[in-house]
Structure 1
Amino acid sequence: MRNKVETRLKKCKKGGKTTIFLLVDSENFSTTSNVEKIARELLNASKNMKNLFPVILVGGSSATDQMGMDRAVRILRKKTKLPIVLFPGNITGVVPKAHAILFTSLMNSENPYYITQAQALGAPLVRKMKLEALPTAYLIIGEGTSAWFFGNARGIPFDKPKIAAAYAMAAQYMGMRFVYLEAGSGAKQNVTPEMVQTVRSVFDGFLMVGGGIRSAKTANSLIKAGADGLVIGTLLEQTGGLKKFTEMVKSIQK
């Protein structure tokens, strides 16, 4: 299977272009009309990303509604030409028609299910559905979010960047090519630039950062610290969020 999405992401990284992952939680867009609306909005917003590479992430922390997830992916695939990547919270988040999947291991979970067992159950589905797998070390930073709760994570403190770096080094030695530092959906605090910089100094692969990114100032500080991709989700779901997001995107510069 050709690694089309990973190749494009690496090309962006090499060229100094930041990837913006637009997170669509299918559970928050439960009807067909809602998904079609967000598809149109994301497509319009992507037109403003002249120096950025937009990718749609579909998933969520619980991913309990597999049919809703499948419907969302099919509509987004039909209504946009943007790459669609699955971000599953469990094996129910593995559905067909997406271009790729963040094949994640929640490395700082205290439940082995989220480290290797869910992956073993999901792998045959990924193969059967011919999804491009992006091997990703998923690290929960902080506590109190849905991702932290559902993943039984031992959250890495925001002020302990060396712990995150140690996990990132372990991920690289195990062959993972992506690291995702996640503060969680709706997080009050974002991952710090200091943590991003520390992880960047030891990890050569593609570094994603998400949670609590609500301004261009925050986005630019994370990009400057070494983030290759930013995940934006909650902002898009808020009233007037698309306008705020569009304004933020216009202000993001390398």
Structure 2
Amino acid sequence: MFHNGVMRYYREVLDKDGAMLFSLIDPDKLFLEKGAKVAKQSLEAGADAILVGGSIGAQGTLLDESVRMIKDAIGGTIPVVLYPGNISGLSPFADAVYFMHMLNSRDVYWLSTAQIQAAPVVARMKIEAIPTTYVIIEPGRAVGWIGNANAVPRERGDLAAACALAARYSGSKVVITDAGSGAPQPAPASLVSMVAKACGNDMMYFNAGGVRTPAQAAECIRAGAHGIHVGNAFEASSPAKIKAIAQAVKKEGRKRA
């Protein structure tokens, strides 16, 4: 289904629906069968893609088996994309990988060293690499701590927008802003709006962290994001709640499709 590429699939979904919903599964938290179950529930609720990864622990045999079980559960109907927390977060069984650099990290490792080390591995695995700029927003949570991020203050949408412009001028295809897994609330709509405007038509913009309700999901899309990542909220949610969030994303997205 994705022989023409995951990015092309993304564009087709955005052309049709105006917005996307990503279900993020951390194999270190949702072990094997449980992760596959959440993936299937997410598909049935209306998710457009499954992201697999985590800040720590999502690697090696556990990651490979998780990806394979998730793909079996969803039957290849939507892509499985790696959302790696490190170079160990790669698997040849995925459809694509966000080839990310953490733009506001203080550590050169997350800016270039990890990418240099990972590039030959991605090439050998022959999975689609999606050039992605990753920007941590306060509070950042575990990913901000691990990545030694100079997190963008929530009230400084102008700084987040500057990061997006830097990504745009450097050739990224995707920008992700992330308040961190388990953040008490998502990035404010004002910040999302400024980042979306900076991305223009050149990049896709996805927002992550803190989205727990349909209203929060709708607000993020209304502010201009092309999609949202939902992880923790789906891990403990009923299929009905997952579907409600998906419907909120699509309802808001179709206003601009």
Relative CO higher for 1 or 2, CA cutoff 8 Å, sep ≥ 6? Answer: 2
* TM-score, with length taken from structure 1: 0.91
TM-fit CA distance, 1:242: 3.6
User: How is 1:1-254 mapped onto 2 (pairs within 5 angstroms)?
Assistant: 4-30=5-31, 32-45=32-45, 49=46, 54-80=48-74, 81=76, 82-143=78-139, 145-204=141-200, 205-238=203-236, 240-252=237-249, 253-254=251-252
- Tell me the CA shift for residue 144 of structure 1: 5.1
Q: Which is worse superposed, 186-195 or 12-21?
A: 12-21
Q: Counterpart of 1:37 in structure 2: which amino acid?
A: K
Cα–Cα, structure 1 residues 248 and 13, in superposed 2: closer, same or farther, change >3 Å? closer
- Whole-angstrom distance in 1 between the partners of 2:19 and 2:172: 20
SS at match of 1:198: helix
Shift of 1:25: 0.3
Change (3 A) 1:217 1:39: closer
**5+ long unaligned stretches in structure 1:** none
Q: TM-score, normalised by structure 2?
A: 0.90
Show structure 2 runs of 5+ residues with no match.
253-257
- More off after superposition, 7-16 vs 102-111: 7-16
3-state DSSP of counterpart to 2:199: coil
1:11 to 1:39, Cα distance in 2 relative to 1, 3 A: closer
| Per-residue Cα deviation, 1:37-59 (whole angstroms, up to 9, x for no partner) | 223323332xxx3xxx6100000
1:189 Cα shift?
Answer: 2.0
CA contact (8 A) 2:56 2:85 kept: yes
AA in 2 matched with 1:180? I
Q: What RMSD over aligned residues (CA atoms) do the two structures have, in Å?
A: 1.8
Amino acid at match of 1:230: I
Report the alpha carbon displacement of residue 143 of structure 1 after superposing the two structures with TM.
2.5
- Identify the range of structure 1 (94-103 vs 143-152) with the bigger mean alpha-carbon deviation: 143-152
Question: In structure 1, what is the Cα distance between the partners aligned to 2:106 and 2:232?
Answer: 26
State how far apart, in whole Å, the 2-side matches of 1:174 and 1:33 are.
40
SS of 2:99's partner is strand
Whether the 8 Å CA contact 2:140–2:178 is kept in 1: the answer is: no
CA contact (8 A) 1:207 1:227 kept: yes
Q: Distance in 2 between matches of 1:177 and 1:189?
A: 26
